[in-house]
Structure 1
Amino acid sequence: MIFKLTRPIQSLLFFANCLYLANCTPKPEPFILGILALPVLIETAAFQVSSTVPTANQTDVSTSSSVIITFNKDIDSTSISGNISLTQPATNSISSLTASTSAKILTIRPSSAFNASSSYTITIKAAIKSTSAETLGTDFPLTFTTQ
């Protein structure tokens, strides 16, 4: 089978052959054709608490408040159970905490109101996880005082 080449294709083939033949005039300069790939450093922060309501050591917190803890990454809701503790005055009667999550937000509600003029510490345990399975790494205590 014989192929007839059109003039532009013949010129292109001649040029391509000329690049690789030693007797081309003018002699082509060597060049490198390729892709240079540089590594991209993407820093991601470790799973951690970003903010809290109330804030750490806040005073005059309402006795009917919920505690809201915001993380920098989405929370694995299955890791919440057993990883929140409450330190309260001996005279208080909070028997349990209810926790719910929504993306990066953990909301904690006590089973009854906080006592007035009392100090509380809610501790988020180190084992709580993000949805990418990162643990908090260290316990996070949040202390506040009610009005």
Structure 2
Amino acid sequence: MPTWKKYHILILVFFSFLACLPKPKPSLLGVLVLPLVTQTSSNFTIESTIPANGATGVSLNPTITIVMTQAVETTSLNTNISCSPSCPSLNGGASNRTITLTPASALTTGTTYTITLNQNIQSIFGLTLGTNTSFSFTTL
């Protein structure tokens, strides 16, 4: 028998074998565990900020971005973020793990601002920061 016929028969046998395998069934465990795996940490803390803590020469009209280690419960942000010295009203919100804030008007030149996240801000899993957490930056 020629070699190509042997390979042809071998390939047919292989694919016939695959057709006989049972189809996998959905598992409730996969549905329950998958959302937990998408988080980057079992702790709820600040992962990074823009501007970075201690940054200088920051624009007078910055977009402040705070990335958390878990998705944020947006309703917990109400009155739980502050800025000192007094910033113009901070507008924004959260999407998944990212909190985005923009001052309603320009910040003051050469001023060091401190953004504080209150300990009561929660992740979607009910974890809180546990302690007030701050970072600072200085404008141009």
| TM-score after normalising by structure 1 | 0.65
- Map of 1:1-147 to 2, 5 A cutoff? 44-88=41-85, 94-147=87-140
- Distance between the aligned counterparts of 1:95 and 1:50, measured in 2? 25
- Distance between the aligned counterparts of 2:91 and 2:135, measured in 1? 16
Identity value in percent: 33
**Structure 1 runs of 4+ with >6 Å offset:** none
Instruction: Tell me the SS of whatever aligns to 1:123.
Output: strand
- Structure 2, unaligned runs of 5 or more: 1-36
| TM-score after normalising by structure 2 | 0.68
- Distance between the aligned counterparts of 1:130 and 1:78, measured in 2? 10
RMSD of aligned Cα (Å): 1.5
Partner AA of 1:65 in structure 2: P
Between the two proteins, the alignment pairs up a number of residues equal to: 101
Instruction: Tell me the SS of whatever aligns to 2:75.
Output: helix
